[in-house]
Amino acid sequence: MELAHGREPRGRRNNQRQEQQEWVQGMRTAFLKSTGQIPVSSDGDLIMEAQISSTVEDVLATTPFVDIHTHLFAPAFGKLGLWGIDELLTYHYLEAEFFRSSDTTPEKYWSLSKRDQADAIWRTLFVENTPVSEATRGVVAVLKAFHLPTDSPDLAEARSFFKAQTIEEHIRKVFQMAGVSPVVMTNDPLDPEEAAFWLNGIASHGQFRAALRLDRILCNWSTHWQVLAGQGYGVDEQASGKSGAEVRRFLADWYKRMQPVYMAVSLPDTFEFPKETIGNRLLKDAVLPACREFDLPLSLMIGVRKQVNPSLRLAGDALGRADLRALENLCRDFPANRFLVSVLSRENQHELCVYARKFSNLMPFGCWWFMNNPSIVEEITRERIEMLGTSFIPQHSDARVLEQVIYKWHNTRRTLARILSETYRLLSEDGRGITRGDIERDVTRLFRSNAEAWMDLRAPGSERS
């Protein structure tokens, strides 16, 4: 019926308003009812909402985490393994901050001894300024963990404490304090210093696993192909002819030597695949087939812009947003390969989750480097849980200095406690009761069994089924 002046009769308007009010009322009532109700479950061990946080904290605190990417070394690698207060203070994350608060030029800083560098950073970032950044707070947390003064004008007491430690026992203590076991190293067969240890034979260590890092081969072939050629591999500058097969032979030899749990490469924000480059040819003809042959995942860390300020050395890298269609192409075109992926740009995080929903051979991992700050970790991890459930690996430490695992993993647990508690509270409000067993299963999956399902983390030489 056509309505006069486009208006409804008053009676009908009133009826509709009443219906709408009732609907809204009903909706709110249902919501309020559901929040007040005890969730339905066949399990008798449901935890009360008030106990969710403390149970989550307890499970996080008592579950040993696998640290799938670090730059730590087993004691057999001698001086390559960094530890102690001077190394903690000269971490490149802190060096970058130091140059913002000190007049010392990079040139002057690099001319100092490590001890003097550490003193300068301590004075600038910890004495003359309040150590509120993530990396400075980390040092404070490590000092506190060892009952060392956190506000001392100098480093004398800290230095004498670390000097008194013996490395094996110290590692055992540190990993226990951090709640990690095992940790995965980053092992570069083309680093002459490191390669020498491997070539002499390295006994396997219960707490350290290897990862075969490929940056020099895949991203810097022109300055490294001759090293392979010098070792008897038939490769050339253009990576032509049998080069692919020979790089594959090189990888097979290093696979035998290192027993790595994955292969890895860090890629620039400009990475494209497929595109005719030497790196991509070697990726396709050598690395991906080798990963399939040895049943290893390939870790892709995408988005670094190397040396935007070379005068800062290791602290001089930045990041850029990558085009993750390269990842889409890899995951789709190589379904028999598995890809562990971390992206450095905040803007790429959401796409990474979406791709993980499309490809089960893609495992997002970690909040890498510039992403490893509580506010961003929180954002990324919430998004991953919302989109992927527990089918991802939330974090790695990227520790370069042994004791860093203490604060990095403490911070991860603290942030995750908040996120998981809220997730379970919402789930409970939605009607699914939560047991301690659920929380244990989820935390174990996130921080252990996803990694265990993707890589063989047992010590080389131990019983393998």
Contact set with ligand RAT (CB under 6 A): 71, 186, 266, 301, 369, 398, 400
In whole angstroms, how close is the CB of 324 to ligand RAT at the nearest point?
18
Q: Which is nearer to Zn ion, 95 or 398 (CB)?
A: 398
The count of other CB atoms within 10 Å of the CB of residue 218 is 25
Measured from the CB atom, is 87 or 398 closer to Zn ion?
398
Q: Which does 305 bind (CB under 5 to 8 A by kind): ligand RAT, Zn ion, none?
A: none
Separation of alpha carbons 443 and 451, rounded Å? 12
Helical spans, DSSP H, in 286-348 = 288-294, 325-333
| Beta carbon nearer to ligand RAT, 71 or 448 | 71
Q: Shortest gap between Cβ of 71 and Zn ion (angstroms)? A: 6
Answer with the entry of Zn ion, ligand RAT, none that 294 interacts with (C-beta below 5 to 8 A by kind): none
- Residue 243's identity, in one-letter code, is S
Ranges assigned E (strand) in 314-455: 318-319, 339-343, 362-364
* Shortest separation between residue 400's beta carbon and ligand RAT, angstroms: 6
Residue 461 to residue 203: CA distance in whole angstroms = 10
Q: Minimum distance between the CB of residue 220 and ligand RAT, rounded to whole angstroms? A: 13
Residue whose CB is nearest to Zn ion in the complex, by number: 398
What is the separation of C-alpha 76 from the centre of its chain, rounded to a whole number of angstroms?
25
- Looking at residues 31 to 70 of the shown chain, list those that interact with Zn ion (rule: CB under 5 A): none
Pick from 188, 215, 398, 403 the residue near Zn ion by CB under 5 A: 398
The least distance separating ligand RAT from the CB of residue 24, rounded to whole angstroms, comes to 51
> Of 313 and 441, which has the nearer Cβ to ligand RAT?
313
- Contact indicator for 281, 236 with CB cutoff of 8 Å: no
**In terms of DSSP bridges, do strands 263-268 and 298-305 run parallel, antiparallel, or are they unpaired?**
parallel
> Measured between alpha carbons, how far is residue 398 from residues 93, 197, 309, 403, 420 in Å?
11, 22, 21, 12, 23
E strands of 273-416, at which residues? 298-305, 318-319, 339-343, 362-364
Q: Which does 266 bind (CB under 5 to 8 A by kind): Zn ion, ligand RAT, none?
A: ligand RAT
DSSP-derived letter for residue 440 is: H
Burial letters for 367-393: b for 16+ Cβ neighbours within 10 Å, e otherwise? Answer: bbbbbbbeebbebbbeebbebbebbbb
H or E stretch at 12: helix 10-36
- Which one, 314 or 453, has the nearer CB to Zn ion? 314
CB of 304 to ligand RAT, least distance (A): 6
Question: Residue 287 touches which of ligand RAT, Zn ion, none (CB < 5 to 8 A by kind)?
Answer: none
Task: Annotate 164-176 with b (16+ C-beta within 10 A) or e (fewer).
Answer: ebeeeebbeebbe
Dihedrals phi, psi of 437, to nearest 5 degrees: -60, -40
134 binds, among Zn ion, ligand RAT, none (CB under 5 to 8 A by kind): none
302 interacts with, out of Zn ion, ligand RAT, none, CB within 5 to 8 A per kind: none
Closer of 398 and 442 to ligand RAT (Cβ): 398
Minimum distance from residue 258 beta carbon to ligand RAT (Å)? 17
Q: Which is nearer to ligand RAT, 259 or 266 (CB)?
A: 266
Concatenated DSSP letters for 163-218?
HT--HHHHHHHHHHHHTEEEEE--B-TT-HHHHHHHHH----BTTEE--EE-HHHH
Report the partner that residue 369 touches, choosing among ligand RAT, Zn ion, none (CB closer than 5 to 8 A by kind). ligand RAT
**Smallest distance, Å, CB 266 to ligand RAT?**
4
Q: Between 46 and 301, whose beta carbon lies closer to ligand RAT?
A: 301
**Count of residues engaged in binding Zn ion, rule: CB under 5 A:** 1
Q: Which residues bind Zn ion (CB under 5 A)?
A: 398
